[in-house]
Structure 1
Amino acid sequence: MCGIVGVASQSPVNQLIYDALLLLQHRGQDAAGIVTQQGTKFYMHKAKGMVRDVFRTRNMRALPGSIGLGQVRYPTAGNADSEEEAQPFYVNAPFGLVLVHNGNLTNVDALKEQLFNHDHRHINTTSDTEVLINVLAHELEQTTRGLPLAPKDVFAAVRGVHSRIKGSYAVVSVIAGHGLLAFRDPFGIRPLCLGKSADGTYMVASESVTLEGTGHDFVRNIAPGEAVFIDTQGQIHNATCAEKAQLSPCIFEYVYLARPDSEMDGISVYQARLNMGETLAKRVISTVPPDEIDVVIPIPESSRPSAMQLAQLLGLPYREGFVKNRYVGRTFIMPGQGARKKSVRQKLNAIRSEFKGRRVLLVDDSIVRGTTSKEIVQMARDAGAAKVYLASAAPPVRYPNVYGIDMPTQTELIAHGRSMDEIRDYIGCDALIYQDVSGMKDAIRKLNPAIANFEASCFDGVYITGDIAATDAQRINANRSGEENAEDASRLALHNA
């Protein structure tokens, strides 16, 4: 999961890209980068850290130009500690290319071999984004053969990219002296949308909130398999470049990843979470009678809409029982499981009066490892709760994700190979209620019936690209970026968006 943005304007874009990255900061906190183009020259600055820390006044002054792109990085492949692997990436031929990418390629090893042996291109990092930019560069070289670059050549190159790479990818690239290119994988797994401002500036970004927050009107989502090319004259061109395109967005965007004020592929993220609360309420009734629950309390923050809707339908009081300390780093930044547990206590504090003597239903967006849930349940007991029930707005996470979410290996998932009673006993709650997969899909699909399917592999084990078996998922996750922390290799803190 990363956040990407691209801007094509007639005015300087450095501040605009910076502002956009701040709105995408929730999608990645490990590194940030911006590249701009003035004339045919690129200017780039990237480093590890949050946007506000990476870019100082001197850095912004060194980013002139009216076209550019940026990224906030959340590493799922490659070396998380290497600044070289922060995006954007650059290659000097053909024309000069810079590129940012959100997603994860699943056939990287085969592509590296092709690039070296057949395309005669060298890959110098372990990042799949470097692989992607070199594949795009080779395909552009093949379509132009020294001729002037036309939009049809750009689209032919993207068709070549689609034919070679597998996995999830939303991409923004700038071709030196020619324009800005954006495209999305044939399944539309990772999001990408297009906006336009009153002065004719175009912006493409991972989430619609980025457009709204920077004064751009939402135009539309970029379709799966589609490429959009904005030339240096501000003319926009588009084409469908994948033979078999079918919208199957990642359902985890709606569960947890995206901001609630975003709209993705015709679905309000906030409304999707409300709907999940409705279906979860039905599951709760079948497990714990509402008259045995005194209060519903969300685990901040992305579970709030689901918890509010559930409480309303069950006729139960909704209370804020946990206060979040916003000045403590996200738990996935902490190395090792011991530090993670300590950080949960530092980051969340229970309001004792909301728990004391009460039978409490805690609502979370999802449960992955279970370690955070176990700690929070114990916090509720320490605050005096008479009973602690736990409900998850998402189904059990039983399978690894290979499309850009850095989840633990399958054996580290609390729901893998355990019965519901075993999960409940580990977490320490009095009752455990999960959403079911079909209920979750139906709750979200009703907001856009045009979506035939969702990418929900971490819940149902179905990898929609068709090139992933169980052994492949294990292999891909064995090389994920967080592997350096043996105790806690996942860099995703799913309890807190």
Structure 2
Amino acid sequence: MTYEVKSLNEECGVFGIWGHPQAAQVTYFGLHSLQHRGQEGAGILTNDEGKLKRHRSTGLLSEVFKNPADLEKLTGTAAIGHVRYATAGEASIDNIQPFHFKFYDNSFGLVHNGNLTNAQTLRRELESQGAIFSSTSDSEILAHLIRRSHHPEFLGKVKEALNTVKGGFAYLLMLEDKLIAALDPNGFRPLSIGRMKNGSWVVSSETCAFEVIGAEWVRDVNPGEIVIIDDDGITYDTYTTDTQLAICSMEYIYFARPDSTIHGVNVHTARKNAGRLLAQEFAHEADIVVGVPNSSLSAAMGFAEESGLPNEMGLVKNQYTQRTFIQPTQELREQGVRMKLSAVSGVVKDKRVVMIDDSIVRGTTSRRIVQLLKEAGAAEVHVAIASPPLKYPCFYGIDIQSRRELIAANHSVDEICDIIGADSLTYLSIDGLIESVGLETDAPNGGLCVAYFDGDYPTPLYDYEERYLQSLKEKTSFYSIKDKK
């Protein structure tokens, strides 16, 4: 079986609230702030005095709830919601969350951000024991493990299940009388707790959702932690002490919104720092700095300030186009780049341009943007990337599970420069990335997972081990140097 990566694909976004008379509406606004984390589907499940109600469908949040009645029928004072990008499982409504599990003695809802590295093994074991799955998503596995646990208390069942699953995960579970949040032992996925003025507790993948609903950030959920929220307040517990912070560095580089704060570090600030350090590692003459909108604009600011070059708007983004990774074929993705971006000839003509971008995955988008700038009259285009070369797959919740189409896994920096048609190519070093984020921790790599860049994974890969080892042997790329033009 082959695995194709089209671009950097977001993970998912989760949101939960307890103790608000308009829980569904607040959850809608929270999910709207997290829409960048997934555009394939969305859903909300509410708790109305112990009765769980749900609405979900494929598409953007506004499409899922285009009929106001769909939101109005979700009555209750507590809710969980989800926006989905498929990291595991097919893009069908059966895989759209929240999941709702009904049993003779209770019921609960579940949402999940991340990817389980032992999902295949667990699913086979569960199915061999008679479990019946209603989806192909690995998120459903936790519910089966909870239900099959022999622990007398529900919280004990949850802890036992959390110690069984491996990989990256942020879970929210809605019960009839409580909301439970849990984070994996490495904290790969971000998860934060906030509180509204009326006393309602909220949990979100990113803090940007707090601003829109008027909530105040309280703290982040820690690795290996389980949080219980009910009518009596909030309780913090742990399900394991074998923890080591290794938050996904791509959250700071690309995924998270710039107005979010993760473990005390503002994302915009981290990206700006990355641009500043990238300028220190850059060794070419240039006239202007141009950031690729929107995720690279912060890095472009830092680069311009450090280098003393003017930061110009040489690329303009059409805000009404979908992200190119959604397009199913390479031809459509390349057409999507032209629809999404336009080069401003009056800005770049006859200029030596430093084009700042957050990453290069396949190289096709970078090649097209370089071409746009040169067609607009740029004398030179020097590409500077505010992250290290992306050489290794991710198995914790980002849709990169093969080295086969990662251009940096198959070509040197000089070859990539030649392929994308740039006059030079500079990547930020791994040390520069770690310094740019600057988490206050003694954890390895500054508390970041940088396995995408150095291949040093912070956990065993379990079901993915064989696939990963096979990918190391592959030297297959959609590019060859001779056909780059």
TM over 0.5: yes
Amino acid at match of 1:98: G
In the alignment, the residues of structure 1 paired with residue 232 and residue 324 of structure 2 have an alpha-carbon distance, to the nearest angstrom, of: 43
Structure 1: any 5+ residue segments left out of the alignment? 145-152, 477-486, 488-497
Amino acid at match of 2:221: I
Residue 451 (structure 1) shift? 4.7
Amino acid at match of 2:174: V
- In the alignment, which residue of structure 2 is the partner of 1:68? 79
In the alignment, the residues of structure 2 paired with residue 91 and residue 179 of structure 1 have an alpha-carbon distance, to the nearest angstrom, of: 15
Amino acid at match of 2:440: N
| Alignment of structure 1 residues 58-457 onto 2, 5 Å | 58-80=69-91, 82-93=92-103, 95-118=106-129, 120-139=130-149, 142-144=150-152, 153-175=153-175, 177-231=176-230, 233-285=231-283, 288=284, 292-407=285-400, 409-444=402-437, 446-452=438-444, 453-457=447-451
In the alignment, the residues of structure 2 paired with residue 157 and residue 310 of structure 1 have an alpha-carbon distance, to the nearest angstrom, of: 50
Q: TM-score, normalised by structure 1?
A: 0.89
Cα deviation, 1:140-163, whole Å, max 9, x if unaligned, reads xx223xxxxxxxx34422321232
In the alignment, the residues of structure 2 paired with residue 73 and residue 343 of structure 1 have an alpha-carbon distance, to the nearest angstrom, of: 21
Whether the 8 Å contact between 2:289 and 2:356 is mirrored in structure 1 is yes
Amino acid at match of 1:432: L
Whether the 8 Å contact between 1:357 and 1:385 is mirrored in structure 2 is yes
Residue 251 (structure 1) shift? 0.6
Amino acid at match of 1:122: I
In the alignment, the residues of structure 2 paired with residue 217 and residue 346 of structure 1 have an alpha-carbon distance, to the nearest angstrom, of: 38
Q: How many residues align?
A: 459
| Alignment of structure 1 residues 481-492 onto 2, 5 Å | none
Give secondary structure in 2 for the equivalent of 1:37: strand
In the alignment, the residues of structure 2 paired with residue 138 and residue 11 of structure 1 have an alpha-carbon distance, to the nearest angstrom, of: 34
In the alignment, the residues of structure 1 paired with residue 19 and residue 188 of structure 2 have an alpha-carbon distance, to the nearest angstrom, of: 28
Whether the 8 Å contact between 1:188 and 1:249 is mirrored in structure 2 is yes
Give secondary structure in 2 for the equivalent of 1:64: coil
Residue 315 (structure 1) shift? 1.1
Residues 113 and 408 of structure 1: CA distance in aligned 2, closer, same or farther (over 3 Å): closer
Residue 471 (structure 1) shift? 2.8
Whether the 8 Å contact between 1:91 and 1:134 is mirrored in structure 2 is no
Cα deviation, 1:349-408, whole Å, max 9, x if unaligned, reads 111011111111100011111000000000011001111110000100001111111126
Amino acid at match of 1:237: T
Residue 470 (structure 1) shift? 5.2
Percent of residue pairs bearing the same amino acid type: 39
**Which runs of at least 4 in structure 1 moved beyond 4 Å after TM superposition?**
none
Amino acid at match of 2:456: V
Q: Which shows bigger deviation, 156-165 or 4-13?
A: 156-165
Whether the 8 Å contact between 1:158 and 1:227 is mirrored in structure 2 is no
Residue 475 (structure 1) shift? 8.2
In the alignment, the residues of structure 2 paired with residue 75 and residue 48 of structure 1 have an alpha-carbon distance, to the nearest angstrom, of: 11
Amino acid at match of 1:59: D
Residue 457 (structure 1) shift? 1.6
Give secondary structure in 2 for the equivalent of 1:379: helix
Q: CA RMSD in A?
A: 1.9
- In the alignment, which residue of structure 1 is the partner of 2:6? none
In the alignment, the residues of structure 2 paired with residue 374 and residue 248 of structure 1 have an alpha-carbon distance, to the nearest angstrom, of: 32
In the alignment, the residues of structure 1 paired with residue 468 and residue 174 of structure 2 have an alpha-carbon distance, to the nearest angstrom, of: 32
Structure 2: any 5+ residue segments left out of the alignment? 1-10, 472-477, 479-485
Amino acid at match of 1:121: A
Residues 206 and 474 of structure 1: CA distance in aligned 2, closer, same or farther (over 3 Å): farther
Residue 2 (structure 1) shift? 0.4
In the alignment, the residues of structure 2 paired with residue 408 and residue 472 of structure 1 have an alpha-carbon distance, to the nearest angstrom, of: 9
| 1:21 and 2:31 are equivalent in the alignment | yes
Whether the 8 Å contact between 1:402 and 1:473 is mirrored in structure 2 is no
- In the alignment, which residue of structure 1 is the partner of 2:466? 471
Residue 138 (structure 1) shift? 2.8
Amino acid at match of 2:318: N
Whether the 8 Å contact between 2:142 and 2:162 is mirrored in structure 1 is no
Residue 27 (structure 1) shift? 0.6
In the alignment, the residues of structure 1 paired with residue 358 and residue 383 of structure 2 have an alpha-carbon distance, to the nearest angstrom, of: 11
Q: TM-score, normalised by structure 2?
A: 0.91
